[in-house]
Each structure stands twice: as structure tokens, then as C-alpha cells.
Amino acid sequence: MKKIATLLLFAVLVLSGCNKKDETTTAKAEKKEVYNLNYAVFFPASHLQAQTAEAWAEEVGKRTDGQVKITLFPGGTLTAAAQTYEAVVSGVADIGMSVFAYTRGRFPLLEGLDLPVGYPDGVTATKIANAMVKKYEPAELSDVHVLYLHAHGPGILASRNEVRTPADIASMKVRATGLSAKIVTALGGTPISMSQGETYEALQKGVVDATFCPIETLKGWKQGEVIDYVVDTKSIGYTTTMFVVMNKAKWDALPENLQTIMDEVSDEWIYKQGEAWDESDRQGEAFVKDLGKTFISLSDGDNKALIAAMNPIYEEYTAAAAEKGLPGEAFLADIRDMLK
């Protein structure tokens, strides 16, 4: 009897050990892989756009139950703004946010997104940019996975001089770069290229008479302190489109369920990032109003004249696209239809 009891005890101990071993094995099997990704953002950490990007990264982490962990590198600390796209392609950055226009000629079809077509606000510009990329699936983005795009509110003219008609711009020196430089030229003015960091002093000293910029810049860079007039040029409101893209190999390495979650969060952030631009514009407008600056609205006739003056810019874009075999004319027509 004693021998039987001993054998039973031994069997219980063996089975118990097996169960613990099985539980350990199961726990290891259920442990999910964590994917650590870096994210290059050219905005400084204090900028609302960087903060909105951080919120996106945190939401992805939350919804993937910590399986996707994204570390932000704001202020160009991982890669310079102009090199961000290529850094993502090469794998230096896993995810990157920057500006298409920083590498002119690299995105010939998407240059149409920034044209002065009269964007009323950042949300609209952002929604249109995403819709156009989804519709056209441009080959120029085939070397990355596009998470989403966003775009700032309409560029306006902030001036030291009073501007009541488009003709008043013809005698002015205007800080403008890239596309906005073409706008100044089309209006008969003289575009002067310089960074935002140089613009405050240039306006203060009269090196330039005005600047084309989204109104948020007047607060963000304090330029509202050294101008006297804000001219509503939304009828030819241009934007600057920004991308959030991911290295293709890193994307392909993610399980399908995690890819789905990241795309779902990105779709939600289209509105959030666009609204962040509009909030920045509201703050910029309030800042300038508090300084007592004068806001000028142009007549319907003058706005029509502004729009007509942009025709050479539209024609240059569509002709350049056609030379490359790209549907620039249809692309521009779709943007205008969406604006209606």
C-alpha cells in the first residue's frame, strides 16, 4: 500500500512538472514580436505638427498593444528635411515626414497639389492631397508605403506696404520660394528667395516689402511684428504638401493585422493633421489682430484678375507633366472639381 502511494505521488509530481513546462512553452509562443521603428520629422518638437505626429505614433502603439513602437526624431535630428524621403527609401529612417517641394522635380505629378488653385483651408488641402494620391497612385511614390499626406492652409500676402489691387504688387520685392516665387513673377513683382529664419530681419530692414506665407507663419516666426497689412489672396491660395511615408521593406515585414491598424490610424490622422494646420492659422490670425495690423479683402474683380494671372503657372505645370507622359491636365482638373 505504501509503495502504491509513493508511485501515485511520483506521477502527480511528474504531471505537474509537465503542465508547468507546457504553460511556459505556451507563454513563450504567445509572446508577440515588437517592431521598433524610428520616425524622422523636420518640425521642431514644440511645433503643433510634430506634436500631432507624436500623437499618431502613440495611437499606433496603443492600438497594436505595444507591438509597433515608434520613436520620433523631431527637428531634423535623424535626417535633414530635404533628404528625408530618400532616407526612408534607403532605410536610414523607417518613417519620415517632410515636404515634396524640397526636392523639386522628384515628384512631377504631385507638384500639381501645390498650385495656386484657391485652397480655402488646411483640412481641404489635406483631404484633396490624400484623395488624389489614392486615385492616381503615382509611380513617383512607388518606392515607399504612403501612410498619409497633409498640407497647410492657403498662402496669403503679408506686407509692409498697402495693397489694394493686384497692380500694387508689381512694384514690390516679395519673399517667396519655389512655387510662390512663380506667383510673384506672374503678378509682376520681384521674388526674393530666403529662409523663414531670414525673413523677419529682411522685412524689418525693408530688404523685402512683403512675404507670401500661410498666416500661421506670422506668429510662428513672429513676422507679424514687422508687417502692417495682411492681404486676403485665398482666391489663389496655394499650399505646401507634406508626406508621411514608410520604408517599403519595413512595411512588408509587418504582419497584415498591424499594417491594417497603421493604415486605419493614418486615415483618421488625415483630418487631425489638416485641422492642426487650421488651428495654427487661427492662432496666427489672432496674433496679428492683437498687434493691430490691417486686414485687406480684394474686390471680386481683383480676385478674378489674380486667378487669370495664374494661367501661365497652370500651363507650365501641365506642359511639363505631358512631356513626362503624366496626366497633369486631368490631375489639375480633378483638384478643381474637388474644390467645387
Q: What is the pLDDT of residue 290?
A: 98
Task: Report d(CA 58, CA 232) in Å as an integer.
Answer: 37
Q: What is the pLDDT of residue 177?
A: 85
Q: What is the pLDDT of residue 194?
A: 87
pLDDT digit string, tens, across residues 138-148: 999 999 999 99
Task: Give backbone dihedrals phi and psi of 325, rounded to 5 degrees, phi first.
Answer: 75, 25
Name the nearest CA neighbour of 111 among 265, 258, 317: 317
Task: Give backbone dihedrals phi and psi of 109, rounded to 5 degrees, phi first.
Answer: -75, -45
Pick the CATH number of 155-238+282-339 from 3.40.190.170, 3.65.10.10, 3.40.50.150, 3.20.20.150: 3.40.190.170
For the chain, which residues make up each domain, given as ranges?
Answer: 33-152+240-279, 155-238+282-339
Strands 155-159 and 229-232 come out as antiparallel
pLDDT digit string, tens, across residues 114-128: 999 999 999 999 999
The mean per-residue pLDDT over the stretch 73-97 comes to: 96
DSSP single-letter state for residue 142: T
Query: Is residue 295's pLDDT more than 50?
Result: yes
The mean per-residue pLDDT over the stretch 309-320 comes to: 98
* Largest distance between two CA atoms of the chain: 113
Burial of 330 (0-12, 13-18, 19+ CB in 10 A): middle
Q: What is the pLDDT of residue 12?
A: 45
Fold of 33-152+240-279: D-Maltodextrin-Binding Protein; domain 2 (3.40.190)
The mean per-residue pLDDT over the stretch 199-216 comes to: 97
Q: What is the pLDDT of residue 196?
A: 86
CATH fold match for the domains 33-152+240-279 and 155-238+282-339:
yes
